[in-house]
Amino acid sequence: MIIDCHGHYTTSPKELDLFRQQQVALIDGGTRGTPTAPKISDDQLRESVEKAQLKFQRERGTGLTIFSPRASGMGHHIGDGAVSEAWAHVCNDLIHRLCALYPENFVGVCQLPQTPGVPPTNSIRELERCVKEFGFIGCNLNPDPSGGYWKDPPLTDRWWYPFYEKMVELDVPAMIHVSASCNPNFHATGAHYINGDTTAFMQFLTSDLFKDFPTLKFIIPHGGGAVPYHWGRYRGLAQDMKRPPLKELLLNNVFFDTCVYHLPGIELLTRVVPIENILFASEMVGAVKGIDPETGYHFDDTKRYIDAVKTLSEADRQKIYEANARRVFSRLDKQLAKRAA
C-alpha cells in the first residue's frame, strides 16, 4: 500500500466557506457566538472528493491519504481561541465523516484551534477529541499562528511543552504547517509555507527539545523547505555550534515529506536525507494544480519522481511509500486494524 502522508481537504462544499464567512462577519461585527454548523450531506461530501482526491488516488496508484483540513484555511490569526476552536471543530468533523465514508482511502489528521498569544494548551481538548473519538492519527501544528508575523515563541520554547506532553501521551506526530499569510511580503504557498518549514528545522537544530521529549515526532512538509538543498549548511552550522551531528541531534524525531515537484529535487532529497526519514506525500489537491509541460504529468504527481530515482532500491521505496509512515504515525496500524475488524 502507498500512503500519502500529506493531503488536505481543499475541495470542500461551499457551505463550509459560508460558515467561515458568517463566523468572520460575527467577529467583525463585534458579536460573540458561533453560526449554525454547516449542513453538508454525505452525497455532497462524496461528490467533493470523488472527482478530486479519489480520482487522483486511483489514477496515480496511491492507496491511503493521511487527510486533514485545508491548511491555508486554518486562519489561526482570525478571532480568539473560541473562534478557532469552533472552526477546527467543524473542519475536523468533516474529515471524520470522510474517513467514515471512505475507510480505505482516508485516515484523519486534525486542525488545531491555535490563536496568536494563546497558550497551546488550548489545543489539547480538540486533539484528544479527534484522536480518541474519531481515531485520528496526528495533527497539523502551526509554528506561526499570526500568519506571517511570527509573534509566538519558537517551537522549542516551553510555551509549547504542555501540548507536546499530550502528543507524546497520545502517541501522535505533528506535521509542522503554517496557514495563510497576512503579511504582504509572503506569498502563502510560494514563500510562507517553505519558510515555515526551514524555520522549524533550524529551531530544532539549535535546541535540546528532543532530549526533553525523546519520542516526540514532527513531519516537516514540502520536502523540508530549503533544508535538504542546504544540507551541508545545516551540517556545518550544527558543527560550528558544537551540536551533535544531525542524525543524532534530530533525525529520530524529524521527518520530511516528498512534496517536491520535480525529479531533481526528489533526487536530492533521497540522496542527502536518510531514507528512514522520508515519507511519501503529494499535497494533492493542493499548492500546484497544473500539468508540467516538461513531463506531461501533474507537478504534484510525486510518485512518478520517486519511481524514477535510479539510486533507490525496492526496499528504499517501500520505506518511503509505506513503512516510514506506519512507524511515524504510530496509531495508523491500530486504526486500520480497527476498521478492518
Phi, psi of 127 (to 5 degrees): -60, -45
- Least distance to a copy of itself, CB of residue 144, Å: 7
Q: Which one, of 312, 295, 233, 231, lies nearest residue 261 by Cα?
A: 295
Pick the catalytic residue from 85, 126, 267, 283.
283
- Least distance to a copy of itself, CB of residue 15, Å: 25
**Could you say which DSSP state residue 295 is in?**
T
- Least distance to a copy of itself, CB of residue 42, Å: 31
Contact indicator for 132, 140 with CB cutoff of 8 Å: no
- Least distance to a copy of itself, CB of residue 274, Å: 14
Active site residue 128: no
- Cell (9 digits) for 106: 482516508
Residue closer to a copy of itself (CB basis): 268 or 275: 268
- Cβ neighbours for 14, distance < 8 A, ≥ 6 positions apart: none
Residue closer to a copy of itself (CB basis): 103 or 265: 265
Phi, psi of 156 (to 5 degrees): -95, 0
- Least distance to a copy of itself, CB of residue 60, Å: 16
Per CB under 8 A, residues contacting a copy of itself are 143-144, 148-150, 152-154, 157, 183-187, 189-191, 194-195, 198-199, 201-203, 205-206, 222-223, 225-226, 228-237, 239-240, 260-262, 264-265, 267-268, 271-272, 287-290, 292-294, 299-300
Q: Which one, of 105, 14, 118, lies nearest residue 76 by Cα?
A: 118
Residue closer to a copy of itself (CB basis): 43 or 240: 240
**Could you say which DSSP state residue 35 is in?**
P
Q: Taking the CA atoms of the chain, what radius of gyration do you get in angstroms?
A: 19
- Evaluated on CA atoms 191, 197, 198, 199, the torsion sign reads positive
Residue closer to a copy of itself (CB basis): 5 or 336: 5
Residue closer to a copy of itself (CB basis): 1 or 291: 291
Q: What is the DSSP string of 223-250?
A: GGTTTTTTHHHHHHHHHHTTPPPHHHHH
For residues 84 and 126, give the distance between their C-alpha atoms in angstroms, rounded to a whole number: 10
Q: Which residues are catalytic?
A: 283
